[in-house]
Structure 1
């Protein structure tokens, strides 16, 4: 675990919450469909794992704890990167966090064997992380779910490649989200239009949150993408 003074975020493997028992990972993970879940700012790994029972039953879910300790007044909460300007964090900090998740995935494969396919699901800051992971290693991920999140400004290593392969991305939000500023929404819309095949949906009344209808749509999206993805030895 690190605080905001650190620049090399590392995912704490012991803090990962799985949808299956840890003692079953060696048997269950190789060849399975893996969904990597990333929470929002000030939350924790035990939050979004509650979505697992509402997602396709044939996937394995891993909910990660962000590597940075969120500052006061938040208690027992974590962050992927410093907020900085709302909706416009320092790209290098998001890149560093993305590399930490990629390193964790590499270690997971070494320890337990490769999943058949991997998708990501993130909320708010976690949504920004899901998109940034795609911008680093697009071939690694079958699909991306961005809930109430945003794309980070600037260029990323695989942006040019993404304009050709245009991976599947689900983007769910409330048009009246009180947290994500309009400038970040506009940036995200422009970036997704140029780099992905987007399923963009609005959920009035969600605020900065997740609705039941949204999760139903996410389930269908993962059935069409993660479950349908061909097996990849590089995942």
Structure 2
């Protein structure tokens, strides 16, 4: 994905008419990674979904970043807002072709997933956040948290309590924000550090079945 008029870089699990009307799950990778990183998880997740993995717009070492980070993983709210608007401009026309949109973000990708849901609550069915955090942005007009208070977002958050990357202030904010704005499933996985494990992915699959697929059948 880019912030200009160039075509975003993305991978999709099926790119024919068979995807039309299916639930869409969008993978949002972490800092310094790329669109190939999370796509492999799709083999362990429900077959009913179409899976889309999007490349972040900014170069970051050998990979890409959704917004610039300092050594303390701090960021500017303006850069986050720019990236969220750009991502939604890409996803919005695709969303109209699918029965629902779910976001799965790892690390910085979780910040993007929760932020996009705060920007476009009615368009997002659920969020999965892995080893990440939510953005603290009290002055931002982009984050419409009142919409989530009115209609809490189904959200899965998995992490290691000893994650060495996400700083304590960001975890503390997310721990305060998530229960007030989401229907939260919060699971911890010892010794995965800043990564994922098969037990966690199995829990994510069960979550997706329950909060997305089962609801579509009601």
- C-alpha deviations, 1:22-62, integer Å up to 9, x for none? 3x1xx123210000000000000011000010000110000
Which runs of structure 2 are paired with 1:103-122 in the superposition (5 Å)?
103-109=89-95, 114-122=97-105
Deviation at 1:126, TM superposition (A): 0.4
Deviating above 6 A after TM superposition, structure 1's stretches of 4 or more consecutive aligned residues are none
Match for residue 16 of structure 1 among 10, 20, 30: 10
Number of aligned residue pairs: give it: 214
Select 1:49's aligned residue among 2, 18, 39: 39
User: Partner of 2:58 in structure 1?
Assistant: 68
Quick check: 2:178–2:184 contact (8 Å CA) kept in 1? Answer: yes
Q: Which runs of 5+ in 2 are unaligned?
A: none
Q: Residue 163 of structure 2 is aligned with which of 157, 161, 177?
A: 177
Q: Once the 2 structures are TM-superposed, how far is the Cα of residue 11 of structure 1 from its aligned partner?
A: 7.8
Distance 2:6 2:65 in 1: 12
Alignment map for 1:71-220 (pairs within 5 Å): 74-75=61-62, 77-84=63-70, 86-109=72-95, 114-155=97-138, 156-220=142-206
Unaligned runs of 5+ in 1: 3-7
TM-score (norm 2): 0.92
- Partners of 2:6 and 2:153 lie apart in 1 by 25
Partner SS for 2:212: coil
Q: CA distance change for structure 1 residues 168 and 35 in 2, over 3 Å: closer, same or farther?
A: same
Shift of 1:81: 0.4
